[in-house]
Chain A
Amino acid sequence: MYVIILGAGKIGYSIAEILISNQHEVAVIDSNKSKCEYIDNTLGSISVLGDQSLSNSLLKAGITRADLFIATTKNDSENMLSCQLAKDYYNAKFTLSITHSKEISRLLETININYTINVNQHITNELISKIKLLGININTKN
């Protein structure tokens, strides 16, 4: 499968590493030059230096033949727009996006993005389960 990942942060890097070790073809887009160099030195020449235009960066990465697009930046709006471009304009088969708020997650799921993962919610849930493992009772109804 050809997978394009937007964002070479910790999440983008780890998922790229795993996909590569599973013999998938991967490209990682980031606008930070040193992050791209780090990726090229450690995972192979798979980085694409993004420019100001999202659509340009996606094209440079070969979005027209992508099976899966994953948006992992810190910026919810960039994640949303890149997924929309990937799916609705360049016809990528699947799109995934991380988000940082419950409401934006809900919004993104109504606009053709296959799955959204709310990072903050996941960390909170994980923390709660660990707190419970420590034997501390907490009520999580809300």
Chain B
Amino acid sequence: MSQINMMSKVSIIGCGNSGSKIAINFANIGYQIDIIDINYKNLMKLPQNLISEGYLNPMVGNAMNILELKNLIDPDCNTCIILTGNDSTNALISQIFKNEFNISKIICKINDQITNELYSNLGFITINQNDLFNKKLLDLFESN
């Protein structure tokens, strides 16, 4: 495993299917990941070795509670990826990060087309699952 990448402190909100997978992938290539979920059961599926080696730091907390979030987020964190299963939850948490924290990159998953457009106009980096799926399908068709 590569050395811990001290330059990039990444926080991930939401440890569902996408959150946990991304956290593990990033940790495997040397990023230090803080991952927050409201439900401790979701954090249990993270691999123990990555946690004990210091690559993954799971934390239980409600990211929609500003005071709670301030206690959880590392002051050195410069990238935040918001991956809960709900568009409006992701929107609110992104907005909290923008207004209350000094974080250069806020990346959020917004699946609704219009909300996605609005949020990218508001300066957030947005990811739309449907768009990704469409792109992948198009690539598949074009490669044949």
- Which residues of A line the B interface, CB within 8 A? 53-56, 75-78, 80-82, 84-85, 88-89, 101, 103-104, 107, 110-111
Q: Quote the shortest CB–CB distance from A80 to chain B (angstroms).
A: 5
Pick the contact of A80: B66, B91, B100, B114 (CB < 8 A): B91
Give the chain B neighbours of A85 by CB distance below 8 A: 114-115, 118
Q: Quote the shortest CB–CB distance from A108 to chain B (angstroms).
A: 9
Give the chain A neighbours of B121 by CB distance below 8 A: 88
* A81 B122 Cβ-Cβ under 8 A: no
Residue B67, interface by CB 8 Å? yes
Residue B17, interface by CB 8 Å? no
Total inter-chain residue pairs, C-beta < 8 Å: 60
* A107 B95 Cβ-Cβ under 8 A: yes
Give the chain B neighbours of A88 by CB distance below 8 A: 118, 121-122
* B67 A103 Cβ-Cβ under 8 A: yes
B-side interface mostly? helix
A-side interface mostly? helix
* B88 A81 Cβ-Cβ under 8 A: yes
Residue B113, interface by CB 8 Å? yes
Give the chain A neighbours of B112 by CB distance below 8 A: 53-56
Give the chain A neighbours of B29 by CB distance below 8 A: none
Q: Which residue of chain B is the closest to A90 with respect to CB atoms?
A: B114
Task: Give a binary string over B97-135; 1 marks a CB under 8 Å from any A CB, 0 the rest.
Answer: 001100000000000111101100110000000000000
Which of A56, A77, A84 has the most chain B CB within a 10 Å cutoff?
A77
Residue B5, interface by CB 8 Å? no
* A77 B86 Cβ-Cβ under 8 A: yes
* A77 B91 Cβ-Cβ under 8 A: yes
